Structure 1
């Protein structure tokens, strides 16, 4: 029976009596419970032997008993072979180990007391009977071929229309096209019927997936230790991430602290991370906070690998590298390798089908939310259900930043489904809490794939922030290390509800997305993880430092006072300073399934961060008090008028049809001139043409004097094209008209009304200044000081003796 083709049928079989469910260990032993079946006499562990009563799933759960908290782990083994079946190693005693079993299979369930005072824990084991659904891989039934195609999307409207088709659109793309996964013939028909032009990039993605898995097995077998900070040679399982994070903390207790995020997942899993800093327990020490996170999207395994390797990098570097030691000493680093723990566990443990079908759980992207799907598809656990991997919410479309707009799915089955409301998901609420309660000056969220460093905004119509040159410079610097393209997020396609489009606009902390590698969601480990992280071939960052160097650039920026704001002053020992700000921000007008929109939703954010005084003078690294959303938008004051409109004369005749430009150069060429200062100042030009029938297809390309394509418009199903170039350099250009298709070649539908229209630059806009409310409380919590604080990026603000003299000092500052 093929595991990935199973669906829940609704039978729950308890495994043991209540008396058998209490497990005991008199002492804690720090070891990997999932490593092997321990001797019955081994200290720090207890076991139960069970026999599966079903073909289906085993769920082994641990829960604290009698309110006693500790850290217990659980693992399930096949008794005959000793091989691991499932495991969970989170930081508390709330564990879920889940995987597929066969009827009659003999199992050993092992619980291990890793740390803490709790000598007992409650074990619950359920067997869930499943029935086949989809195409099990063990039946020999041929599956449909999945492929990757590049779809031509030269304009933003094309990208938005492509996103609306419900296909699996990847993050690999550029200004003129995006790669799309076609799982089956139905997807292929959808794309063909849409009228988009596309070309095949990978004709058999299923075969590539199988080949990558084989490469991983060979690499892990032949390489004892990689060049990664941990020496790892293969993709980790969720329980390995959990175990390694707490081992980093146990072995480096003064430098590393493992923690559990506040919101368990839909299926009840804890989400874990680590904080790395000198005097790590003093989280209110005023240092800037640098956050690195991975796996919002379940199938993007390299994202979590790069994140955890960064944690190892900081720990190893603190011990061996003076430069890293200095940076760690001046910052606090939070690493959350797996934001979407439910989805990742399912993707990582799934039987590798490689067909990208609804029941190919290895390719699951979203979380495990079920109640947004149709009622008949809500039954069953996330790992095997009638909705398959389509069920769930995309966490990276669920943040409040411009939520509900373009670039997010509006229906439950969309791969980019935005969810029922901003922050409706526990995964996004977890990250929101970190960013809202800490002064997160720098944030990187890791994804695959596309070789991109993306910065806000996700929607071009939002316009870049007032400090666009600063944000771009940081993105460009990191891209110079990993060899990626540094672009605004909308340069790929419009997206709303993404991580940094909330975190940056709401707090002013720099936020970027890395799209790692160009080969796939989790291709060969040697390339997507080892090479990309360390900067060796075949990675684009070969010889440049790779993502390791890019992460260090981000950390250096976090440590630089010029990159954020600083409060200085004095406060008695044991007093606590607090910065507070509450505000509302509108989402996008909320797109409805029928294409109409409803008014924006106003989302209330509350930012609260603290500093604990050690007595005397203090320095507290903070984000600017004015959030970028209201600070203004980037622009350029015109230095002259725009150039007058130019008409494009249509040459005599009609060129032959050409579906292979530029391979086939047959076309018409119409030159035009772009002037510059001091005569004119062009912020953009738009080249447009029209014809009669939308069934005719002309394509428009704009080339510069060197013959390079600088912009293009090659849509289908319209009777016009418009190509735009922002801030065009002065010089000679040409419009290239390609006759892609004629309804009636004997009576050609020629283009007309060609023109080049010029526009002035859009000036910058400036918004109001915002303040933090700074309060000071004494050792017993009494409010003893209050002041408004205005701080710009790079500015140091002296708040004086705010705890003892705040009212007078505040008045003096306002004079």
Structure 2
């Protein structure tokens, strides 16, 4: 029978209007299947009467969206999936395949299009589910949106002041950059004017990003059409849709019941989607077995499709390796591995299902970055679903600026339309609360969060002023090792630009679990699959990790680190069979002083976190991996004690004359060069040097570069609209350097404005600081849940602490109570 549902109203694109259609009866909304069949509901349109399937025929009354939702039908939770097909050609229009009976399949349709909504009972006891189908009409209103040319430029940011100035422009910054510059997306003429008026220098990297994106989509179609499996663990040849991720994860679990467990994170998204993950371990259902936990996640940012692909391929890698590779199996046996391919399920669905136009217009949803939160946008823009709304892709919160770590500071947007909008408060978003719950409750010792793009391995901190943690040498060594596999640059996160509210700047500083961000590939947010996914994962040309192992080898390095007791903390002791042990810590951490849109700041917010880990005793001696009891936020900051005084300042002698104007250094080598020497202990110990020069007019432009003995640029300052330059190098190695002064532009070449006051100034290293030690509260409960043991435990990274018979010897009558 035909099913016709009521249509929602609102505003979308330029307008979303309601269309009245007959309401479906209650009976129409119940889908039934007496038998569960493990099949992909989205794979094909099945004939009526097929076992495990119920279907409804519908006709769209609108040019707009179809939404097909499932909910539990008879009070019992099962696993039902849903797919919408075009009746004429059988092509899938939309689908959803999460782990329960709570599904949302949504995509675009045309008026008069005949559709079949197919509900499939995949597993579980529920014979029925409740189906709802809505159509939402899109009607143009007002002036059509003009699609302008989008481009990528590299903005020169050699100084911290330049990075701060760039962040203040509220442009769409990529993660591709280095100490002296950052690539930025200019969506149109307004962005170009903003950057031009800022005075920051920039060069064009990609003059037509829209064309590049369309070319990439064409390459993807051609690559998939070859029909040959790729070198990936799954053999995949194209970007997945959200429903394919969901189905693939639960199929991994179904096919490997003792090794893989698929599960749903605690909170649905704003639009009601479940977020699906898998856990991979020997005897996977025994989550409280005391093994260290390694977490890999992807797609905080919707348009960064390769991030999800690398994550799910890692899940396949672990499963395949467990069965076929002795070295991988040995590491899997020692660890528990959690993979969350799509953190931002709403945003990814919007981006992945959009037309691949490749432009950055407000209503081109392919390039959406954020989640689907609407509450912070102006009231008139809060209507409409995420795929089509009057705020366009600008609406939402950036999940990777919403964690509590230094939230509210530099490097996050303050207004709803900013691509890096931080949200109204820390952890305001279900996406970040999901990851917070996972990290806080599972003693995650190792974490990688995947993004695009930039060929970077980033480590905490995200803000230069925070200073590196005491463990900086250890954290850096691990990052460097992984970077040696994928060919990426290993730098602190602030080396790109300041960011606050990011994943690992909360997870590491609050829990002590190692945390890193990988920025995958150098070419775009979702460039050709063959390059950004296949080559980057396996380590093949043209990836920087070609011949080095790629991200596969980097992930294996992280897995080995998770298995290494020297990389986390260990508790040992004895406990009776069936007793439950728990380490617990509750603490408050301040955010940054909270920057406001008017330029003022308000006091930091105190954020309360609870971190705990559980161990279920099998009787007798136990070994239990946990994170250090002292969180890095209070442990102290890295530094070193001076081994001598800082070197005396060096005056740079200005050579006679003025070199010709040069706007293309280093391609054009014409410049003035002044050598200087950096000394080392015992004569001097330098924590940094600053090279500075000045001149008279701000309309004159000199650029300053510092070269090491090999001729490599190690510092630079190349600003416009100033009458000085200052280049800085931290912890400079002992040796010979050259200051290079380039005459970029003169007000009057006939009367040159020469530079003066050249000087190299040295500063001592900053000594380390040390904070207080923190303890876990360790408790033991018997089989009836009564507390029978209680003690404090101090444990450092790499340390093993014997807590003895915590369930008996530390028990006191006064501590007996029900939990």
Establish whether TM, by shorter chain, passes 0.5. Answer: yes
> Residue in 1 aligned with 2:466?
462
RMSD: 1.7
CA contact 2:355–2:366 (8 Å) conserved in 1: yes
> Residue in 1 aligned with 2:424?
420
CA contact 1:13–1:128 (8 Å) conserved in 2: no
Residues 408-447 of structure 1 correspond to what in structure 2 (within 5 A)?
408-447=412-451
> Residue in 2 aligned with 1:17?
25
CA contact 1:45–1:111 (8 Å) conserved in 2: yes
Residues 678-757 of structure 1 correspond to what in structure 2 (within 5 A)?
678-757=682-761
Q: Quote the offset at 1:741 in angstroms.
A: 2.6
For 1:348 and 1:794, the matched residues in 2 are separated by: 43
For 1:703 and 1:265, the matched residues in 2 are separated by: 50
CA contact 1:135–1:143 (8 Å) conserved in 2: no
> Residue in 2 aligned with 1:813?
none
> Residue in 2 aligned with 1:568?
572
The 3 A distance-change label for structure 1 pair 68 and 600 is same
The one-character-per-residue Cα deviations of 1:497-541 (angstroms, maximum 9, x if unpaired) are: 100010001011000101111111111111111111111111111
Q: Quote the offset at 1:182 in angstroms.
A: 1.4
- Structure 2 stretches of 5 or more lacking a match? 1-10, 813-819
> Residue in 2 aligned with 1:183?
187
> Residue in 1 aligned with 2:590?
586
CA contact 1:57–1:128 (8 Å) conserved in 2: yes
The one-character-per-residue Cα deviations of 1:403-439 (angstroms, maximum 9, x if unpaired) are: 1111111111111111111000000000000000011
Q: Structure 1-normalised TM-score?
A: 0.96
CA contact 2:299–2:450 (8 Å) conserved in 1: yes
Q: Decide which of 242, 245, 253 is 2:257's aligned counterpart.
A: 253
CA contact 1:403–1:590 (8 Å) conserved in 2: yes
Q: Quote the offset at 1:11 in angstroms.
A: 5.1
Q: Decide which of 106, 127, 135 is 1:127's aligned counterpart.
A: 135
For 2:584 and 2:209, the matched residues in 1 are separated by: 50
For 1:270 and 1:264, the matched residues in 2 are separated by: 5
For 1:446 and 1:698, the matched residues in 2 are separated by: 39
For 2:68 and 2:727, the matched residues in 1 are separated by: 58
> Residue in 1 aligned with 2:611?
607
For 2:589 and 2:498, the matched residues in 1 are separated by: 19
CA contact 1:444–1:513 (8 Å) conserved in 2: yes
2:535 is the alignment partner of 1:528: no
Q: Decide which of 84, 97, 105 is 1:89's aligned counterpart.
A: 97
The 3 A distance-change label for structure 1 pair 135 and 633 is farther
CA contact 2:210–2:358 (8 Å) conserved in 1: yes
> Residue in 2 aligned with 1:799?
803
> Residue in 1 aligned with 2:815?
none
The one-character-per-residue Cα deviations of 1:657-676 (angstroms, maximum 9, x if unpaired) are: 32222222332223322222
Q: Quote the offset at 1:279 in angstroms.
A: 0.9
Q: Quote the offset at 1:655 in angstroms.
A: 3.2
The 3 A distance-change label for structure 1 pair 115 and 512 is same
CA contact 1:4–1:353 (8 Å) conserved in 2: no
For 1:796 and 1:459, the matched residues in 2 are separated by: 32
For 1:308 and 1:250, the matched residues in 2 are separated by: 16
Q: Decide which of 764, 770, 775 is 1:771's aligned counterpart.
A: 775
> Residue in 2 aligned with 1:271?
275
For 1:727 and 1:14, the matched residues in 2 are separated by: 73
Q: Quote the offset at 1:647 in angstroms.
A: 2.1
Q: Quote the offset at 1:608 in angstroms.
A: 1.7
Deviates more, 1:60-69 or 1:22-31: 60-69
The 3 A distance-change label for structure 1 pair 153 and 7 is farther
For 2:720 and 2:672, the matched residues in 1 are separated by: 19
The 3 A distance-change label for structure 1 pair 282 and 14 is farther
Q: Quote the offset at 1:195 in angstroms.
A: 1.0
Q: Quote the offset at 1:191 in angstroms.
A: 1.4
Q: Decide which of 109, 121, 125 is 2:117's aligned counterpart.
A: 109
The one-character-per-residue Cα deviations of 1:282-308 (angstroms, maximum 9, x if unpaired) are: 110100000000000000000000000
For 1:679 and 1:439, the matched residues in 2 are separated by: 47
CA contact 2:74–2:126 (8 Å) conserved in 1: no
Equivalent position SS for 1:606: strand
2:296 is the alignment partner of 1:292: yes
The 3 A distance-change label for structure 1 pair 375 and 406 is same
CA contact 1:233–1:526 (8 Å) conserved in 2: yes
Deviates more, 1:735-744 or 1:415-424: 735-744
The 3 A distance-change label for structure 1 pair 134 and 461 is farther
The 3 A distance-change label for structure 1 pair 243 and 690 is same
- Structure 1 stretches of 5 or more lacking a match? 809-815
Q: Decide which of 54, 57, 65 is 1:57's aligned counterpart.
A: 65
> Residue in 2 aligned with 1:32?
40
For 2:141 and 2:446, the matched residues in 1 are separated by: 45
2:217 is the alignment partner of 1:213: yes
Q: Decide which of 193, 199, 209 is 1:195's aligned counterpart.
A: 199
For 1:632 and 1:260, the matched residues in 2 are separated by: 36
For 1:72 and 1:403, the matched residues in 2 are separated by: 39
For 1:458 and 1:14, the matched residues in 2 are separated by: 54
For 2:20 and 2:692, the matched residues in 1 are separated by: 64
Q: Quote the offset at 1:695 in angstroms.
A: 3.3
> Residue in 1 aligned with 2:602?
598
> Residue in 2 aligned with 1:345?
349
2:175 is the alignment partner of 1:171: yes
> Residue in 2 aligned with 1:782?
786
The one-character-per-residue Cα deviations of 1:12-65 (angstroms, maximum 9, x if unpaired) are: 756622221011111111100111111111111101101101110111101112
CA contact 1:151–1:177 (8 Å) conserved in 2: yes
Q: Quote the offset at 1:694 in angstroms.
A: 3.1
For 1:433 and 1:207, the matched residues in 2 are separated by: 41
> Residue in 1 aligned with 2:226?
222
> Residue in 1 aligned with 2:4?
none
CA contact 1:393–1:418 (8 Å) conserved in 2: yes
CA contact 2:151–2:186 (8 Å) conserved in 1: yes
> Residue in 2 aligned with 1:508?
512
Equivalent position SS for 2:761: strand
For 2:552 and 2:494, the matched residues in 1 are separated by: 26
> Residue in 1 aligned with 2:154?
150
2:639 is the alignment partner of 1:635: yes
Deviates more, 1:589-598 or 1:478-487: 589-598
Deviates more, 1:488-497 or 1:141-150: 141-150
2:390 is the alignment partner of 1:386: yes
Equivalent position SS for 2:609: strand
For 1:767 and 1:616, the matched residues in 2 are separated by: 36
